[in-house]
Amino acid sequence: MPKDIKNFTENLDFDLSSMYDEADNEVDESVIYPLSSSLKNKLDYREEEEVARGGEKKIFKAYDARSDRYIAMARPLLDSREHDERFLREARICARLEHPNIIPVYDIELDESEKPYFTMELLKGKTLKDVMDSYKSIEERGAHLAQLLEVFVKVCDALSYAHSKNVLHLDVKPENINVEEFGQVLLIDWGLAKIINDDSCGELFLNQTSLDMDILNDMTRVGTLKGSPGFMAPEQTVSNVQKTTQTDIYSLGALLYNILSGELHVSGDNVEECLSSTREGALRPFVENKINPIPKSLQAVFYKACKLEVEQRYQTVEELKQEIQSFLRGFATQAEEAGFLKQLQLIYQRNRIRCQLVFSFLIFTLVGTSIFIQALRESEAEAILARNNAEMALSLYEKEKRGRESIIAEFDDSLQDFKENLGSSSQIEAHFSRLLVGSAIASSRKLDFEMALALTELAIKKNPQDYNAIAEKGFIHLIRHEFVKANYELQRCATHAPHIYDIIRVSNNYVKIKPNDEKRLTNEQFLNCVEELPENRAWLKSYMLIYDRRVNPSIKAHSDLVKKYILSLNPKLTKENFNYKFIERPEGNHLDISHNPELSSLKMLGGKGFPYLSILRTLDLKTLNVSHTGLFGIKQLSQLGLKEINMANTHIKYFPGLNDFTLKPTIYVSKSQDLSKCPKDIKVIYVD
């Protein structure tokens, strides 16, 4: 072959190889670094469905591919430059109001058609209106009043923050308040918001040269009605009247009325009548409800917030919020102007148990004093009638007089203590009691039932009416098979904890079966007791099994209980076809439950949050044979401290779970099981 042809062939081969290598490198990079590669794509949202529509915009549920989440996308409803500017104004205001109770804006953009849109958090809850509409009666609404007022307080927080940034909302109503499942509250729809043109508003808009506040405020002037009838302040119903923070405070008062009564605070068969009532200050009175009366203190807060004269309303949202918080804590509101008797009633409600104890002592002292005085009078009469015993009667009189003075002194001391107690806070004691009960529950979860029992006894000693502590003490006695003590404690708190009636039924039954708390249940009695416990008390069944292991002198007898638990976990198994062989060994016990194809679970009863994974944890196993069973996972075996596990011919495929084991066991598997992801430090033995 000529030299030049040979060189041409070699160069051609090299060029083709280089092309394939470059292509391979490109593919490898996108596969190896998929997240980084995805960010190279253009910012894109996939609109999926329209979820809401208002007077100015429509909302879509959209998928953000770059952050891999669903968001809400807002687009202007009308197609004009003026509407676009108003739309962007709302987005800019929301974007700069960064507060936990104000919906966050993620991005503001123009699409390919140069139409504006902005993205924000996708709301997952319900509006406050939907929440209140779900209540079927005024009584049910009253039962949820505290929760509704907590929502109201969070709305106040959002408005207080907005006012600090010189922004008014001007459309506060239940439809614009979103309440999520876990208590998050968001004030939404800032389309009518007004910016107070003040020198301090530069903190809100960083680039002031691009935003003229008067122009921004002019953008809200669409039509003649700027607000929602029934929640608008009087100054919103007429044009060219200055709007202030008191305008939002009026709307909060209207919202409070709606929360308390379920109605609008003004009457009217149509919008014009409603607006006329608002302008005239004709507020609708509260309807009396003897079953569930609306608190007078909250009525007073409403009337002050919705005064016709702006200067007579609350001066700040913070003042209004503090009034609601005072009510929630059991104090009088400033608007109520409560008298002495009302203040005394509230003091009693805040310190009910302490006051009852002091009043009982005072009554006892007064009764004793009355009896003593009556006896004194009889003694004096006897002294007059028996002159021969005059000196003795006089001596008796002096003695009784001194005794009376002593009782009166004690009475005065009791009054002084009563006054001092009224000045102290009961919240510390309440928190201390809750801490003791919480510590008792934590001790139970750590299986330290003796400590848990001691903590509940201390809590009850501090507060004999702590029904949470009494109920927890009853549960601990039930775990310890002490049904007499359990029944006594559970009966004490039955009226305050109706959810334990199903447990009381069981304890009542077993007080008759085992009236001596010092004796143990037989295995048969134990299993019958566990079967009688309701399904939602699975954690109680598990604790009873764990405690039985501690007090049962025979682990073999205890293993029979575990067998019954496994049967209840796997209803397709029957005791006739269940292969279960427990062998007690000095070096560590062995359990063979192989060849049970219907066996699919060894999880501990108690639910997802229960800290102990396996029903086998009380058997002190070192070797376990679960071959030829229906088990799918091995996480439930990770806490057992096993040295050997035979899991051949099972559905177990995810062997990286062996990394969670406290010890690295030797495993027996079949050749058909994939061990490619098995940890390297695990010894594997193949069996047929």
Tens-place pLDDT, residues 644-687: 999 888 888 766 667 777 778 888 888 877 776 777 777 888 88
Helix (H) / strand (E) element for 8: namely: helix 3-32
Smallest Cα–Cα separation from 52: which of 34, 72, 36, 38?
72
**Alpha carbons 656 and 243: distance in angstroms, whole number:** 65
Q: How many CB atoms lie within 10 A of CB 255?
A: 26
pLDDT computed for residue 429 by the predictor: 59
Cα 600 to Cα 593: distance, rounded to the nearest angstrom: 11
> 403-415 in b/e burial notation, b at 16+ Cβ within 10 A?
eeeebeeebeeee
The DSSP code for 316 is: S
Tens digit of each residue's pLDDT (9 = 90 or more) over 488-514: 888 888 887 777 888 888 888 888 888
> Which residue bears the tokens 């000196």?
391
Q: Give the pLDDT score at 191.
A: 85
Whole-angstrom Cα distance, residue 308 to residue 305?
Answer: 9
Q: 61 pLDDT exceeds 80? A: yes
Tokens, residue 369: 């004093």
- Burial label for 146, CB within 10 Å (0-12, 13-18, 19+), is exposed
The answer to whether 678 and 655 are in contact (CB under 8 A) is yes
Spatial separation of the C-alpha atoms in residues 530 and 537, rounded to whole Å: 10
SS3 398: helix
Picking from 441, 505, 206, 159, the residue whose alpha carbon sits closest to that of residue 324 is 159
* Mean pLDDT calculated for residue range 82-89: 88
pLDDT at 177: 94
In this prediction, residue 333 carries a pLDDT of 62
Confidence of residue 67 (pLDDT cuts 50, 70, 90): confident
Residue 12 has pLDDT above 60, yes or no: no
Q: Is 679 exposed, middle or buried (0-12, 13-18, 19+ CB in 10 A)?
A: middle
Question: Percent helix, strand and coil across the chain, each rounded to 5?
Answer: 55, 10, 35
Mean pLDDT along residues 30-47: 61
Taking alpha carbons only, the member of 676, 683, 626 closest to residue 654 is 676
Please answer whether residues 579 and 591 qualify as being in contact, where contact means their C-beta atoms are separated by less than 8 angstroms: no
Q: What Rg do the C-alpha atoms of the chain give, in angstroms?
A: 38
668 strand-pairing partners: 646, 685
Q: Which of 513, 510, 427 is nearest to 474 (CA)?
A: 510
Q: Is the pLDDT of residue 406 over 70?
A: no
- Tens digits of residue pLDDT in 305-344: 999 999 999 999 999 999 898 888 776 666 565 555 555 5
Lowest mean pLDDT among 212-216, 238-242, 438-442, 597-601: 212-216
Rounded to whole angstroms, how far apart are CA atoms 292 and 145? 11
The pLDDT value given to residue 218: 43
Beta bridge partners of 73: 60, 119
| β-pairing verdict for 589-592 and 581-583 | antiparallel
Residue 595 has pLDDT above 90, yes or no: yes
Residues paired with residue 623 on neighbouring β-strands, in sequence order: 590, 644
